[in-house]
Structure 1
Amino acid sequence: MNTPPSPLSPLSPLSPPGTERTDGSSVRIGALVPLTRPGWVEAGQHLLAGLELAVSDVNDADGIAGRPLELVVRDTAADPQRAAAAVEELARLGVAALAGEYHSVVARAAAARADALGLPFLCSSAVLDALTEQPTQWVARLAPAQSHGWRVYADFLLGMGHSRIAVAAESSVYWASGTRILRDCLAPRGGTVIELDLRALTPTAVCDELVDHRATALLLLVGHPEPAVSIVKSVRRDRRLAEIMVGAPAGQPEFTEWATLLGDDSAAIPFLRYLPERLSPLGARVETALRERLAEAPSFVAFEGYDTVTVLADVLRSHGADRARTAESWPRVAVEGTRGRIQFSRTPGISVWQWAWPPVQVVDRDPVRPDRFRVLHAG
């Protein structure tokens, strides 16, 4: 998921002044999280909840060789420049590694700076294949690459009989990449991808285009809440489009705000979610704790946050807080996470160390009970 970057603004520490230790008593991890607009704030809150819960669990288990693990949080606000500046600041503060980030374009900027500075970065949630321009030893990723997850989504579309698929896309390297992946997957199997340029179309005009092109599915490759919410409302109210499927592969319907803004219109919009059919005992325990912390059901993003710290803590316990040794350890990681056993490898076409692959599901909100999810397809 991506939203347009905001203007560069001053970095605002999330840790209260005076709480960031500088005496070497703790092992610090820098956390990059979107917590203000135009970042996807709800995703950022879930990611941070997972990170913080894992840090608490690590410290309850004697920390890192007796030293407490500490999270130093910086709000990226979906701004690549702000994220790059945060990486530089966190490097100066002496963090052992970086964790987090949700927005792909922002994570790419953070990964570039981490690579240049020699700072290990375990990316939690961003999926853009080209997270760095060149192969790097410093960056690893938990989320599946976009090309993998969106191929699963393309398989779902074809399995449901959709061959004329319109994409309402904003201008972004992330959305452009998603459109290309869909076309590459669908075209050899008789599918057609019709691009609708939202720079020139209102939500009402989108409906007219769908009718003119005889599309059977519309995919929202757009920011949340707008223009996604307005487009859904327009399509749902257009009687000509009563049979069209609306989809959101980037995951907009995952979060509570979607259901709050759209009500019954929030349901039956398939999206990608990175959870297994059944959580492990660890995952079930973490789910309960996250639900208490968030006061709502945790999204897959919260589990990604928890798994990120779990992996980094294992590496730090085994190899110490030396940055180079951390980066060298990615291929030797073998950690039980909330969603399966996590190991990293070099995957063709991916420039970072990649968990290949986390579980992938296509899910929607149940029309009968929009607060409940239905698993439609798994890959």
Structure 2
Amino acid sequence: MHNTSSHRTPLVRLAKREHMNPGAQWAIRIAAILLALVVGGLVMLLSGNNPLEGYATILTGSLGKTSAIRQTVKNFIPLLGTALAIAPCFKMRFWNIGAEGQITAGAMCATYFALYWADKLPQVPLLLLMFVAGAIGGGIWALIPAFFKARWGTNETLFTLMMNYIIIGFVKYLQGGPWEKMPRGSQQIAQFEANACLPKVAGVYCGWIIVLVLVFVMFWYMKYTKQGYEIAVVGESENTARYAGMNVPFIIMRTMFLSGAISGIVGFMLVSGANNTLYDGVAAGVGFTAITVAWLAQLNPFAMVGISAMLAVLQKGADTLQTKMQVPASISDVITGVLLFFMLGCEFFINYRLIFSHSSRKNQKEVGE
């Protein structure tokens, strides 16, 4: 009898890092950003444009003039607000992909009062009413998938995603139906009256103040309150939370209502500050982009400020690339996508390490009888 045994080790293995010092973490992040800029520069070069001139145009187009800075801040407001909204859900491991719809629901509820109550109330009470309506509308729209998840264990990712299209379709119906401005046929909702519009501070509607206040509120809520602690425990293990006597279904619904309410407030700010009207694309994809912001920030509200600002600069700068250098919109999107890809990828190398095996096969001879 002759037996042959061989020990095979995988060429590459993944291992979770126990700890990496902050200096090394930031070195990886900076290297990722620099590499992303190099790759983005190559994309611009292949499209027939000067990369240095392109990056200079992005910066000057977003920060070079007062008007450009104001537009960048307008892009920054909904990004930060929505990232703050979805952070508690993600902390709880509830994958809320429905912020787009929750923003739209809040915007729709706020718009009702802007259209039908503007002649009955002065500005401050009307805006407060719109604020509350937006929060309740977004909260209820988020509560629906949360209830189904808590009661029957449905898939929240698909449920919240599908809810987006339902509410957007309903707003399309309102645009061409009950809320369509006169004369009929425009498929548009009328512009709000002045008392239904948020006042400006430093040349930009005051939504930037609201979201910055929310940064401190959400940091305190998630770190220092009983509810924040419950969210963290449920996120770690639902069984542990139940063993500790926590009402997990209620925590899921409460947290999702809060998430939807903040998204609804973002919707209120968009219709009453940025656009002064409602249309079906009011969220403009911010509900999906904010997911990237939240993950890159590791769900830290203060880190979300910097990442939202960076993406707002890229977004406004990309618009300037198209107008000044005639760079196609697709190229601008590719550059933004490359940067996000490298930034997300670097977090992988911060949390995991690759182990390469150089061991060769060993042949062993055994004596058989």
> Normalising TM by the smaller chain, what interval?
under 0.3
- TM (norm. structure 2) is 0.25
Larger Rg: 2
Higher helix share: 2
* Greater length-normalized contact order (CA 8 Å, ≥ 6 residues apart): 2
TM-score, scaled to structure 1: 0.25
Which structure has more strand as a fraction of its residues?
1
